[in-house]
Amino acid sequence: MTKENIFKTYLEDPLLIEKEHISKEKIDKLKFIDQTGVKLIEVIKLAINGCVDGESEGVTSRKINQYLNR
């Protein structure tokens, strides 16, 4: 599975729309490369990147933390 494939499966989760992180129209058009500014989605991307690239869990976790600390 490509990173984008995995990303798309996460975008299907109803919680994203339910908790109003992002609208349905935007989700349909979203590509992995797009910068969304939506924290949850960016975190998902960081995790997918780290996981597929073989990063250690600790490193990915730290990146996520740093992103959210801003």
Residues at the interface with another protein (CB under 8 A) = 1, 6, 9-10, 12-13, 15-16, 19, 21, 39-40, 43-44, 47-48, 50-52, 57, 60-61, 64-65, 68-70
Angle between helical axes of 39-52 and 3-11 (0-180°, round to 10): 150
Joined together, the tokens standing for residue 2 give 């490509």
Least Å distance between CB 57 and another protein?
Answer: 6
Nearer to another protein (CB atom), residue 30 or residue 61: 61
- Closer residue to another protein, CB minimum distance, 30 or 60: 60
Distance in angstroms (rounded) separating the CA atoms of residues 45 and 63? 11
Question: Are residues 30 and 11 in contact, defined by beta-carbon separation less than 8 angstroms?
Answer: yes
